[in-house]
Amino acid sequence: MSAQPETWRVSTIEGIFETDLETLKQWIIEGCVLPTDKVSKGTLNWIDAGRVPKLKAAFNGEFEPAPPPVIEPQVDQGGWQTPGVEPAETTTHHSTHQPPAAAAPTIACHNHPDAEPKFICRMCATPFCQECPRFVGSSKIAVCPLCGDLCRSFAEVKTRVARSEYQSSGFGFDDLKAAARYPLQHKSALLGGALMYGLLLLAGFRGSLFAWMIMFGCISHVISQVAWGRLDRSFMPDFSEFSMWEDVVQPMFLGVGITIVSWGPMIVLILALLLGVVRSGAVAPLSPAGQQQKVEQQGPSHEDLSVLMDPNADAKDLEKANQKVNQLRPGAQIAREAEQSKQETDDPTTMVKQLLPFLGAGIFLALVMLVLVAWGIFYYPMALTVAGYTQSFLSVVNPLVGIDTIRRMGSTYFKAFGMVIGIQFVSVIIGGIVAVILSPLSLPFMGNLPANFINGSITFYFNLVIACLLGLSLYKSADRLGINFD
């Protein structure tokens, strides 16, 4: 009897498989097994594949697999081909093995054209029905009957191919349409969320604060789900397993972080102006004549008084001291102010000279305010994006994270930003129309409750659209962000 081949088990991110040593070496050469993957010989303990002596040659590229034996095609009673070749009448030699993602799998089994494929070989990309593949021992691990490699689920590969094509299709108005439809796919969640959000807005400051936390929680949840390609998931968090941290505290901190990094600088400037820390004007500088008058208005100094008291003082010093004393008389002060007023009236540029320092400071502060407003408008969508895919307060408040993400996303973010501005504009227009239509329902001391409720529901919907759009922009930029969303 021939010796039984060694049975090896290998654990990768795709699952646990059983094979022989030669096939395992072939997988290593093809890059399907990494040095950090776990392997086990028989029933022995698991160990890193890179530490196994028998596998080091394969990892070092020193192993050359033996060519597959040429076997005449035979059809077994089970309906699958003997591994090695294909039937003579349908022979299509695969000179290079293409991964399933790059292949265009057919919609029928290779051996049974009338049967739907259930598996597809990950190397030769040949589809098979449920009956065609071999299975390792008594397990459900399918092996290709043609090349002997492992098979994958055809439905899973088809989904990955579709996702890959959609991911590489570019970002555009089709994504805007998908984002607009996304909340409507979950009508019960949309109705419940809008009802909860609208009612909380009518409950005063505390209710608005709680509504704000729910909104940011839903936005971050949507961005996180859609960025991973899960458009079929509901936008409402799972409250069946309520967590105070994940459902209340974390959304609150993320919302605070978004406000700080986007609108915080403008808020600080406004508070500084209100508190007088920063002044909107400046003190006009004195002209040379004004400086001379200021010196004269200061009155006699201690030395001047000494000159006046000294009977032997010099005549010139005595005259200067007397002039300073005379400047303090009421009549002299009135005459000086009248002369100064006459000079200012005769000079048409006096008012302009006095206003220039104030105008300069006001223009500077206005420019600073415009820059800060532009920053808040431009960076706010990215702050939402960072909050959605990182769920980290420190990452949200660090603008370098968002700026680096913008750099990597390139034009995709600017497209998304333009769409976000358009969505917000439409939301404002619809809200204004609703307010005008329902204006007769406004009540004293209570405001227009129906309009506020409806506008709150509209805001809830449009924020979900924005979140979905930002999530799609991340999903379409996965290759540039270095994120594997599979």
Please check whether residue 220 lies inside any domain of the structure. Answer: yes
d(Cα 109, Cα 101) in Å, to the nearest integer?
A: 18
d(Cα 161, Cα 105) in Å, to the nearest integer?
A: 10
Residue-by-residue DSSP string for 290-313 = HHHHHHHHT---HHHHHHHH-TT-
Q: CA of 168: how far to CAs of 144, 248, 474, in Å?
A: 29, 36, 12
Give the pairing of strands 15-19 and 127-128.
Answer: unpaired
Verify that 369 and 240 share a domain, yes or no: yes
Torsion, CA 192, CA 198, CA 201, CA 206, rounded to 10: -10
**Ramachandran region of residue 116, left (φ > 0), alpha (ψ -120 to 50) or beta?**
beta
- Provide the residue type at 340 as one letter: Q
Verify that 381 and 259 share a domain, yes or no: yes
Q: In this structure, what token pair is assigned to residue 74?
A: 């035979």
- Provide the residue type at 168 as one letter: S
Torsion, CA 467, CA 469, CA 475, CA 477, rounded to 10: -120
Verify that 37 and 125 share a domain, yes or no: no
Q: CA of 64: how far to CAs of 54, 294, 306, in Å?
A: 13, 99, 112
Please check whether residue 141 lies inside any domain of the structure. Answer: no
Q: CA of 270: how far to CAs of 178, 362, 368, 369, 376, in Å?
A: 39, 14, 11, 9, 14
Q: Which domain holds residue 425?
A: 173-277+364-481
H helix and E strand count, the chain: 18, 9
Verify that 374 and 468 share a domain, yes or no: yes
d(Cα 264, Cα 398) in Å, to the nearest integer?
A: 12
d(Cα 122, Cα 214) in Å, to the nearest integer?
A: 44
Please check whether residue 211 lies inside any domain of the structure. Answer: yes
Q: Is 38 exposed, middle or buried (0-12, 13-18, 19+ CB in 10 A)?
A: middle
Q: CA of 91: how far to CAs of 73, 86, 146, 148, in Å?
A: 10, 5, 11, 16
Verify that 337 and 382 share a domain, yes or no: no
Residue where a domain stops, chosen among 307, 327, 362: 362
d(Cα 125, Cα 146) in Å, to the nearest integer?
A: 10
Closest CA to 321 of 293, 301, 347: 301
Closest CA to 19 of 36, 42, 52, 44: 42
d(Cα 388, Cα 173) in Å, to the nearest integer?
A: 22
Q: Which helix (H) or strand (E) holds 127?
A: strand 127-128
Verify that 156 and 250 share a domain, yes or no: no
Please check whether residue 66 lies inside any domain of the structure. Answer: no
Verify that 344 and 384 share a domain, yes or no: no
Which residue is it, tokens 């969505």? 423
d(Cα 83, Cα 421) in Å, to the nearest integer?
A: 59
- The answer to whether 469 touches 176, Cβ cutoff 8 Å, is yes
Please check whether residue 111 lies inside any domain of the structure. Answer: yes
Tell me how many domains the chain contains. 4
Q: Hey, which residues does 447 pair with through a beta bridge? A: 443
167 contacts: CB under 8 Å, gap ≥ 6: 229, 475, 476, 478, 479, 485
Residue where a domain stops, chosen among 329, 362, 395: 362
d(Cα 210, Cα 229) in Å, to the nearest integer?
A: 29
Please check whether residue 132 lies inside any domain of the structure. Answer: yes
Verify that 358 and 369 share a domain, yes or no: no
Please check whether residue 117 lies inside any domain of the structure. Answer: yes
Verify that 475 and 389 share a domain, yes or no: yes
Verify that 340 and 369 share a domain, yes or no: no
Residue where a domain stops, chosen among 339, 362, 385: 362
Please check whether residue 200 lies inside any domain of the structure. Answer: yes
Q: What angle do CA 28, 32, 35 make, to 5 degrees?
A: 55
Regions of the chain where pLDDT drops below 70:
1-5, 13-14, 62-106, 137-139, 237-243, 247, 277-313, 317-318, 321-361, 445, 483-486
Q: Is 367 exposed, middle or buried (0-12, 13-18, 19+ CB in 10 A)?
A: exposed
Verify that 344 and 241 share a domain, yes or no: no
pLDDT of 359 reads 60
Q: Is the pTM of this model over 0.75?
A: no
Q: In this structure, what token pair is assigned to residue 278?
A: 């920063």
Q: Hey, which residues does 12 pair with through a beta bridge? A: 15
37 contacts: CB under 8 Å, gap ≥ 6: 10, 11, 12, 48, 49
pLDDT of 20 reads 82
Verify that 272 and 313 share a domain, yes or no: no
pLDDT of 102 reads 37
